Structure 1
Amino acid sequence: MSQSSSQIAEVADSLLRIEMQLRQIGAWESKAPPPEAFDSTQPFCIDTLEFTQWLQFVFVARLKILIEEDRTLPSVSGMAPMAEEHFRGRPESGEGLIRELEVMDELLSG
């Protein structure tokens, strides 16, 4: 199934809102983790990265590349439940980020 330009624009807008939420909670980093942190075989690199690092340096970065190169976007996304788990019991609220990830999940998964 081909993706419409409006869906691609909505995904790009959603990526910007996810970045804004990461910045708002102080989780946006100016420097990438060391390359070996990305060699994990675990989902979300859970053993080598914080979830917010994975979002920034893997999820957001890869989706931006797919959009820029006019490639097919993923057809399944389940980021919001992982974010809910990440923020459970933490002092910072991830509510805004979780909402934005729910939007992204809906855009990609339909």
Structure 2
Amino acid sequence: MPTPADLRPLLQALEAAMRAADLWQPQPPPADALASPLPFMVDTLRIEQWLQWVFLPRLHALLDAQAPLPGACSVHPLAEHEWSQRCPGAASQAVLAALLAIDAHLSQPASAGC
């Protein structure tokens, strides 16, 4: 059974894969871009920006606070759709594999926080 502690290495693997794929940015987007109310902030951020500046920090914060984790996750399909033409290649495949592992981990009942 996976535990919340098992998630941190998966998050670190995602960051490493994003860096290797040159999808990691040195500067955050403008504050107004991070204030979008839409899911994944699709109107203001690219998926890699959302992963870097929203998804990863929020999951790390939940782990640090020992707070309940999301009971399900399905980020991989969106990233796969977004990158299918824009970022083809082995580097983006490593990022997608990391996202698939995170989705699987968070979608298992042991990680659910109700």
TM-score w.r.t. the length of structure 2 is: 0.87
Distance in 1 between residues matched to 2:65 and 2:30, nearest whole Å: 26
Structure number with higher relative contact order (C-alpha < 8 Å, ≥ 6 residues apart): 2
For structure 1, the 5+ residue unaligned runs are none
Distance in 2 between residues matched to 1:77 and 1:86, nearest whole Å: 17
Q: CA deviation at 1:41?
A: 2.0
Identical-residue share of aligned pairs (%): 31
3-state SS in 2 of match to 1:83: helix
Are the aligned partners of 1:21 and 1:97 in contact in 2 as well (CA < 8 Å)? yes
Count of residues in Structure 1 that have an aligned counterpart in Structure 2: 106
Q: Where does residue 48 of structure 1 map in the other structure?
A: 44
Alignment counterpart, residue 98 of structure 2, candidates 91, 97, 100: 100
Are the aligned partners of 1:74 and 1:108 in contact in 2 as well (CA < 8 Å)? yes
Deviations 1:34-64 (A, max 9, x none): 1100121221111101100000110000000
Q: CA deviation at 1:29?
A: 1.3
Alignment counterpart, residue 24 of structure 2, candidates 16, 22, 28: 28
Q: Where does residue 86 of structure 1 map in the other structure?
A: 82
Is 2:69 the partner of 1:76?
Answer: no
Are the aligned partners of 1:25 and 1:92 in contact in 2 as well (CA < 8 Å)? no
For structure 2, the 5+ residue unaligned runs are 109-114
Q: Where does residue 61 of structure 1 map in the other structure?
A: 57
